[in-house]
């Protein structure tokens, strides 16, 4: 079974600064997908960024980027130029790449609460 670990329960950052959220995972699979989801106080779950394990290049989405280290099984999220609206809980998630049944299984970490201060 896969496990996802977010070791930072809470983090804070000043507006306009950069912050990195950590995520590690444990799997014996070679092909998989990794995701970061954001949950603001409204509690809506929002997909932030997605990484395919067989791609070397780190994914980026505007101010959000990842540092994917496959050998270390690490998948950190970097938020640049932090904004007040980035205040949320962030979840890292893992999915195997086998098609069919595996696309139904999404395993989440415990979450990291990020607070952006003005």
Tell the smallest beta-carbon distance from residue 52 to other proteins (Å).
Answer: 8
Residue 39's beta-bridge partner residues?
89
97 binds other proteins (CB under 8 A): yes
Q: Is 103 in the site for other proteins (CB under 8 A)?
A: yes
Do β-strands 88-96 and 112-117 pair in parallel, antiparallel, or remain unpaired? antiparallel
- Determine the Cα–Cα distance for residues 93 and 100; give it in Å rounded to an integer: 18
**Inter-residue contact 106 to 4 (CB < 8 Å):** no
Residue 110 sits in the site that holds other proteins (CB under 8 A) = yes
Q: Nearest distance from residue 33's CB to other proteins, in Å?
A: 5
The strand pairing partners of 67, in sequence order, are 76
Which of 85/99 has CB closer to other proteins? 99
Residues in contact with other proteins by CB under 8 A are 4, 6, 9, 33, 35, 43-47, 50, 52, 91, 95, 97, 100-111
């Amino acid at each position: 079974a896969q496990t996802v670990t977010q070791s930072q329960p809470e983090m804070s950052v000043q507006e306009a600064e950069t912050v990195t959220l950590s995520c590690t995972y444990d799997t014996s699979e070679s092909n998989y997908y990794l995701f970061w989801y954001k949950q603001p106080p409204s509690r809506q779950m929002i997909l932030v960024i997605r990484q395919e394990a067989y791609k070397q290049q780190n994914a980026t989405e505007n101010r959000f980027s990842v540092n994917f280290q496959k050998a270390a099984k690490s998948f950190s999220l970097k938020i640049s130029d932090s904004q007040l609206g980035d205040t949320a809980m962030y979840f890292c998630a893992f999915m195997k790449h086998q098609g069919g049944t595996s696309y139904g299984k999404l395993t989440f970490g415990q979450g990291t609460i990020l607070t952006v201060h003005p």
